[in-house]
Structure 1
Amino acid sequence: MPEVVAAYLDHLTVERGTARNTLDSYARDLRRYAAHLEAAGVSGIAEVRAEHISAFGVALREGDGEHRPLAASSAARALVAVRGLHRFAHADGITEHDPARDVKPPAPARRLPKALPVHDVLRLLDMPSSDGAGPLRDRALLELLYSTGARISEAVGLDLDDIDDAERTVLLDGKGGRQRLVPIGRPALEALHAYLVRARPVLATRGRGTAAVFLNARGGRLSRQSAWQVLKTHAERAGLSASVSPHTLRHSFATHLLEGGADVRVVQELLGHASVTTTQVYTLITVNTLREVYTTAHPRALG
């Protein structure tokens, strides 16, 4: 089983160009799947039947003693990984049948992204001070996240050459190796300039040299986890910790654009979504807002 899993992950890396974060999630899911099969007395992938996969789906949602229950979206992702593994094994001639072919992952619940009101975003962006290498970096990072709608992983992946001052754009490396050029607002550009001139050189002297825009205290590239901690720390200081997740500023970016009248397909391009269907979940938020305003403001709304 471990050999088949390794071959499948190699296939996703080399032939599919699957993103590293997705590969890491699939690897965790498939390790759990292999442990589940071993506990059920299944020693090889050729012995797996559809009922084993269905039982694994139940274990994902209810827990199995060693693992806590997963959210519906995470359980669905794990079953997608399992289905992909068996499809690969069958196509590669490792197994004669695909036992997962008729096992459908549950459709994840469609959750509305949580966006902050504009005044809360502005309060968050004002939290880092304008003195010191760390605060200047934090302010530049938060401004960039909200100004461009970048994922945290895209922001920390930025290199110095990815920022075009003349055109006021940044080049982001998105999921699946797709790049996109995104405009950046003047306040974010000013925060970046302040960081790059007054703070980054100080941090860079502690490292071995890197093209990364955002550096940690040791002069190396800032990690996703550290960038998320920056957001979390300043959200707590602003009194917003209950409403903040790694994607909060990205969600706020999209929602505020749509509320301002931006076309959904433009927002799709800015977010780097492969399908407009993914972006349209944000339109549900704006429709809800319109409905609330209508209900409270129109004299005949409740008549």
Structure 2
Amino acid sequence: MDKLLADFLRHLSLERNSSTHTVKSYREDLTQAHECWQEILGSTDYAIEAVSPRLLRRYVAWLHEKGYSKSTAARRIAAVRSFFRYLCRNGVIQTNPTLGLRSPKVDKKLPGFLSDQEVDSLLVQPEENDRFPNRDRAILEVFYSAGVRVSELVGLSLNDLKLEEGIVTVRGKGKRERYALLGAPSVEALRAWLVERDQLLAQTKKKSDAVFLNKLGTRLTVRSVGRIVGKYVNRAGLDANLSPHSLRHTFATHLLNAGAEIRSVQELLGHKRLMTTQIYTHLSKQKVQESYQKAHPRA
């Protein structure tokens, strides 16, 4: 079991290029599950085949008994699912015991944005056995990196991309154009998808200048992108109410929480009025207090 866990974590780090934080979270979640299974099975040396659907249900009950929140339990179950999908894909086991395993229903979180850890968990969800993993990974990365609206994302064409410069031209509300920024992970994800995109067009014998295509070789719709994002939100064990707009919200909130100027965020989001941008300023009390202590002369 220890070797299988080590192989999976190495896969996340080297092949999936997951962040150190993500690998650390998976290590902690799976190590805890491993220890729980040892306790239930009464053995420190058990075969992976001993992890049955019944054992996994007992593990879910164990998380509840320990008093873990629904979101924490859902995240840890999602880690177990990813681990067993990896084992099945590599032929270590023939049957995935997590099929049919239910996560606890996560309570609504307001406002609808993700923590750093939840973003890491979401971005790593597309896997090689998905229909278009590179496309889906690029969609998630562009949402978080550029803060675009879903309508803006599906409207992207090849001429809008300037990957060498890390920018993309976006057409927002009122047909206003702006530049959005692409981080290195989103550029890498786009490059991988564009290779597959060309192959897809060759197979379907279609012509299109759209960046993101469906299986027929035509431009993705807003509804399709919503389903794609929802699929990975569910797989990661996150709040089912999270949407593509939640990733835009997350983009803005993380920038502001890290100290970005609200005017800069306004420009990146393409907001006409500053008041619109201010709805994204969900700073914690601690952040507000820290800013006050640093800025106020009589603090």
One fold, TM greater than 0.5? yes
Structure 1: gaps spanning 5 or more residues: 1-111, 295-303
8 Å Cα contact 2:112-2:246 kept in structure 1: yes
Instruction: Give aligned-pair identity as a percent.
Output: 46
What residue is the counterpart of 2:159 in the other structure? 161
**Paired letter, 1:141:** I
Q: CA deviation at 1:167?
A: 1.4
Deviation at 1:183, TM superposition (A): 1.3
Which of 118, 122, 125 is matched with 1:124 structurally? 122
| Counterpart mapping for 1:43-58 below 5 A | none
1:47-196 maps to which residues of 2 (within 5 A)? 113-130=111-128, 134-196=132-194
* Bigger radius of gyration: 1
- Count of residue correspondences: 182
Equivalent residues of 1:133, 1:203 under 8 A apart: no
Gaps of 5+ in 2: 1-109, 292-299
Q: Distance in 2 between matches of 1:121 and 1:140?
A: 14
TM-fit CA distance, 1:287: 4.5
**Matched residue, 2:197:** 200
Q: Work out the CA distance in 2 between the residues paired with 1:289 and 1:142.
A: 29
Which moved further from structure 2: 159-168 or 122-131? 122-131
Q: Does 1:286 align with 2:283?
A: yes
The residue matched to 1:280 in structure 2 has which SS?
helix
What are the Cα deviations for residues 5-53 of structure 1, in whole angstroms up to 9, with x where unaligned? xxxxxxxxxxxxxxxxxxxxxxxxxxxxxxxxxxxxxxxxxxxxxxxxx
Q: Which has the higher contact order (CA 8 A, sep 6+)?
A: 2
Alignment RMSD:
2.2
Aligned counterparts of 2:244 and 2:285: Cα–Cα separation in 1: 23
d(CA) in 2 for partners of 1:273, 1:130: 37
C-alpha separation in 1, matches of 2:223 and 2:284: 34
**TM-score, structure 2 length as denominator?**
0.57
In the TM superposition, structure 1's runs of 4+ consecutive aligned residues that sit over 3 Å from their partners are 130-133, 291-294
Amino acid at match of 1:116: L
User: 2:120 & 2:130 partners in 1: Cα distance?
Assistant: 21
For 1:237-296, what per-residue CA distance to the aligned partner results, in whole angstroms no more than 9, with x for missing partners? Answer: 00014341230110000000001110000000000000011001122x1144536999xx
8 Å CA contact 1:163–1:170 kept in 2: the answer is yes
Q: 1:288 to 1:251 in 2, by over 3 A?
A: farther
Q: Is the 1:156–1:221 Cα contact (8 Å) retained in structure 2?
A: yes
- Say if 1:152 and 1:247, in contact at 8 Å, map to a contact too: yes
Q: Could you tell me which residue of structure 2 aligns to residue 213 of structure 1?
A: 211
Please give the alpha-carbon distance, in whole angstroms, between the structure 1 residues aligned to 2:235 and 2:290.
30
C-alpha distance 179-171 of structure 1, shift in aligned 2 (>3 A):
same
Q: Any idea what SS the aligned residue of 2:240 has?
A: helix
1:113: Cα distance to partner?
Answer: 4.1
Question: Which of residues 235, 260, 263 is equivalent to 2:261?
Answer: 263
